[in-house]
Amino acid sequence: MSENYYYTNETIKIKSFKAIVVGSGISGGWAAKELCEKGIQTLVIERGRKVEHNKDYPTANLAPWELKHRGPITDAFKKKNPLITKSAGFGEDNAHFFIEDATQPYIQEKPFDWIRGYQVGGKSLIWGRACQRWSDHEFAAPAKFNYGLDWPIRYKDVEAWYTHVEKFIGVCGSADGIEAMPDGHFMKPFDLTIVEQHVKEVIASKYNRHLVHARWAHITEPEPIHLEQGRGKCQARNLCMRGCPFGGYFSSVSSTLPWAGKTGNLSILTDAVVHSIMYDEASKKAIGLKVIDAHTKKVYEYYADIIFMNASALNTNLILLNSTSKRFPNGLGNDNGLLGKYICHHNYRASVWGKIDGFEDTYVYGRNPTDSIIANYRNLGKQETNFKGGYTTFMGAYRQRLDESTTNETIGADFKEAMQEPGKWHVYAYLQGETIPKKENHVRLSKDQKDPYGLPLLITSVGYDENDNLLTQDFLTETKNMFADAGIYDIGFADNHQAPGLDIHEMGGCRMGKDPNESILNEHNQMHLCKNVFVTDGACMTSTGNQSPSILYMALTARAVDYAVNALKENKL
């Protein structure tokens, strides 16, 4: 991206825009792309530092021996940062894309691991990249089975937007024709390993369950639109969280933001912490935002006709709760008192593993950055268990370079020789489970404690319930049974009881709904009570489903922008 689009509070000259987008991550990048393509002069406000594709990936091509500690995190760093060092994939090679624990404090009323990445691109640089579509079951289930608010939309409302997003970001997968996970616009997937193919056949015949290629935001066969973005084929290095110099996986830094920049309608403001949205009593609209310079702590104001909130779920809740006025003393649009309520997440507590004999004449290509999945098979259209909701099972098989079947040596010539032959196949699976939105699971603002920028500290009060325990146990039982039937042995399993938040799929607090008395947003992600503010990050979620949520955020964002721009042109905002 040209540096012409980057500004700080001290260098930017324009203070008024047609649209402001708060946050530059997965959904914020999509808001910027769609707005700018439609001719809307757009300011993206990012609280973190400037990051440019390739230029700011300092470890992208380093070998392990070129890292100071060969990759692992030191005990001293872990002691100083017990939170971020628990995050999946965190290491010496990508620590620069996470914020250190002391940088931005918050209050855990109940244990909650809030993982954040404050830079242009946000967590799109370090996300898991799984992209399953929701089925209609996920939109309908909460109301149908009485465990949540009815969504104001259904699959048909976002189907075309899913396709719109998939074509642009590049998603690999296969057309499986299964009910739990609709097909989309895919390029060819990475191959299943021979063991995954074996498990697929066993569980299909015995259980009528489906092990399929998970849909991943990796380019395996670049299409013209990806080449236009300057992106290329995934090289199967599995070093994604360092930043990909090939643009092989989707991030807003490699894709949506540079694309928006080409239009000439984009400005990106970095190192700018949003304080609140300013509301005008006369026009009954939001008119702009108060922004704090991250370095000088000076306060600035920026104005716009449309505001898109994409700061990530909890930060969006924080900003909206802090956006008080005479009309909205409890936070913008919060007449019903539900802002910050019904926070939810995904359940990643459980895993199963084991070994399998045979198949040793086959290995794998490269370092496959994707897993296969067993699509949700619980409570699809009917309530058939003692718990509500369903779950995705991520699964994979690999061969270790060295194990007890090859040698017990740990040094010397025999060790080197043994390293040339892969050992047995190992198999693993882990849970991604739906959780039930509950009013008591919430975030709120501290009344007396402030962060380094003078903003109230966010208090997190989110926990598990018996439904989560029952779902977790079902996953463990069913996965162990499937593994055993596939000939897997030495089966181990665990419920790690990890705190909510470590899944990095926090959702809710500003949910969509039909009734303004029960929700904050309408079917267009538009605030019921402040029509020119839209929320399209995870805060908008009415329930969690079992699939990875990021591609739904992208689809909802593109859909909401289309609505907002049309409404603006028709003077309806």
Q: Which range among 320-329, 402-411, 439-448 shows the weakest confidence by mean pLDDT?
A: 402-411
Q: Is residue 421 part of a domain?
A: no
Residue 35 in any domain: the answer is yes
Kindly tell me if the per-residue pLDDT of 400 is higher than 90: no
Over residues 185-192, the mean pLDDT reads: 96
CATH no. for residue 548?
3.50.50.60
Average pLDDT value for the chain: 95
| Segment 547-561 mean pLDDT | 98
Q: Is 548 a domain residue?
A: yes
Residue 357 is predicted with a pLDDT of 95
- Segment 476-491, tens digit of pLDDT: 999 999 999 999 999 9
Average pLDDT, integer, range 490-510 = 97
Which pLDDT value is given to residue 402? Answer: 62
Q: Which pLDDT value is given to residue 414?
A: 76
Residue type, 485: D
For residue range 137-147, what is the model confidence (pLDDT) as tens digits?
999 999 999 99
Total of domains in the chain:
1
- What string of H, E and C letters represents the secondary structure of 410-462? CCCHHHHHHCCCCCCEEEEEEEEECCCCCCCCEEEEEEEEECCCCCEEEEEEC
Q: Quote the radius of gyration of the chain (alpha carbons, Å).
A: 23
* Model pLDDT, residue 442: 98
CA angle, residues 145, 151, 155, in degrees to nearest 5: 100
- Rounded to the nearest angstrom, the gap between the alpha carbon of residue 358 and the centroid of all alpha carbons in its chain is 37
What band does 417 get if pLDDT is binned at 50, 70 and 90? confident
User: pLDDT tens digit string along 178-188?
Assistant: 999 999 999 99
Section 73-78 average pLDDT? 95
Closest among 137, 219, 127 to 173, alpha carbons compared: 219
Alpha-carbon span 433 to 69, nearest angstrom: 35
Q: Return the pLDDT at 485.
A: 98
Structural domain contains residue 25: yes
CA dist list (Å): 260 to 26, 28, 37, 90, 165: 14, 11, 7, 30, 15
Average pLDDT on 459-463 reads 98
Which pLDDT tens digit goes with each residue over 217-257? 999 999 999 999 999 999 999 999 999 999 999 999 999 99
Give pLDDT tens digits for 320-361: 999 999 999 999 999 999 999 999 999 999 999 999 999 988
On whether residue 353 sits in a domain, the answer given is no
Q: Residue 406 — very low, low, confident or very high, per pLDDT cuts 50/70/90?
A: low
Please say whether the beta carbons of 480 and 396 come within 8 A: no
Amino acid occupying residue 5: Y
pLDDT at 2 exceeding the cut of 70? no
pTM surpassing 0.85? yes
Q: Is residue 384 part of a domain?
A: no
CB 562 within 8 A of CB 32: no
CA distances in angstroms from 543 to 138, 381, 442, listed in the order given: 8, 16, 14
pLDDT at 1 over 60: no
Q: Say what percent of the chain tops pLDDT 90.
A: 92
* pLDDT for the residue 403: 62
Range of the domain at 255: 3-54+98-173+214-347+434-463+500-569
Asked, for residue 41, whether it belongs to a domain, the answer is: yes
Q: Tokens representing 297?
A: 């702590």
Per residue in 365-380, pLDDT (tens digit) is: 789 999 999 999 999 9
Confidence band for 404, pLDDT divided at 50, 70 and 90? low
Copy the structure tokens of residue 256: 């949506």
Pairing between strand 299-309 and 507-509? unpaired
Q: Please check whether residue 164 lies inside any domain of the structure.
A: yes
- Interior/surface letters 352-391, b for 16+ CB within 10 angstroms, e for the rest: bbbbbeebeeeebeeebbbbbbbbbbbbbeeeeeebbbbb
